[in-house]
A = this chain, B = another copy of it.
Amino acid sequence: MSRRTVKAPADDAGTVEVAGDGDAPVRRGRGRPRRSIDREQVADVVEELFEEGGYEAVSIEETAKRLTVSRATLYRTVPSKEHLLAILFERMTTELYDAALEIVENADLTPRERVEQLVRAQIDAAFRQRNYLLVFFGGGNLPAEDYEKWKTWRRRYEGLWLKVVEEAIANGDLPDDDPRLVTRLVTGMTTWVARWARPGGPHDAGHIADVALRLVLSDPKR
């Protein structure tokens, strides 16, 4: 996890600190407006707005209101809706990458178990993040610099998958063809779960992953 403290440009209202959640809250006088913007809190609020009304419901105004900071304060560190989305995007991708890295680096797992765990982690994320995962997975709706970060992230994340898929192919667990093609087909299946899975639906993330694995892994699987 990269937790950073970013200094927004100073203006005549003073410097606003953007604190990562490892940082102590900025001390402020009683009754003074809040000046510290916590990125984790921002991500929580944006997630909540997506849940309530989708992409259209996300706005700086509503986020400021729920964070009980002034719109001007939020604007100084989050200058546009795209930047607001970028904060949630960063949390989502960091989480997904870290989970995948842990699986890839776990020496106790067989190649087949690694595929199983990657599929489970991605379906779990798609299920929980169904309200916004596909907004980001197109790579759109982000500021230019975050779009570049997205491309880098996707390459690194796919790199982890490729390593696991190559081993699983060598092991006979997945069909022997271009590992990148196999990876994209499998991650397409798991990513698209965000489109149709619902918390009140007939299947939870665990069961969806069971069936996905029975579909893609070689027998014995049924």
Q: Which residues of chain B come closer than 8 Å to A196, judged between CB atoms? A: 184, 188
Of B137, B211, B222, the residue contacting A185 (CB under 8 A) is B211
Residue in B178, B188, B189, B214 whose CB lies within 8 Å of A175: B214
Select from chain B the residue with minimum beta-carbon distance to A213: B175
Task: Kindly list chain B residues whose C-beta atoms are within 8 Å of the C-beta of A222.
Answer: 175-176, 218
A175-B215, A215-B215 as given contacts; A203 in contact with B181, CB under 8 Å? yes
Type the 1/0 row for A118-139, where 1 means its CB is closer than 8 Å to any CB of B.
0000000000000000100110
> A211 contacts B134, CB within 8 Å?
no
A186 proximal to B (CB < 8 A): yes
Copies in the complex: 2
Closest to A192 in B: B188
> Interface size for chain A: under 10, 10 to 19, 20 to 34, or 35 or more residues?
35 or more
Q: Which chain B positions have C-beta within 8 A of A190?
A: 188
CB contacts (< 8 Å) of A184 on chain B: these are 192-193, 196
Interface-central residue, A137, A188, A222, by most chain B CB under 10 Å: A188
- Which residues of B have CB within 8 Å of A174? 215
Residue of B nearest to A158 (CB): B196
Contact A181 B211 (CB under 8 A): yes
Q: Which of B134, B176, B195, B211 contacts A182 (CB 8 A)?
A: B211
Say whether A67 faces chain B, with CB atoms less than 8 Å apart: no
A199 at the A/B interface (Cβ < 8 Å)? no
A124-175 residues with Cβ-Cβ distance < 8 A to B are: 134, 137-138, 174-175
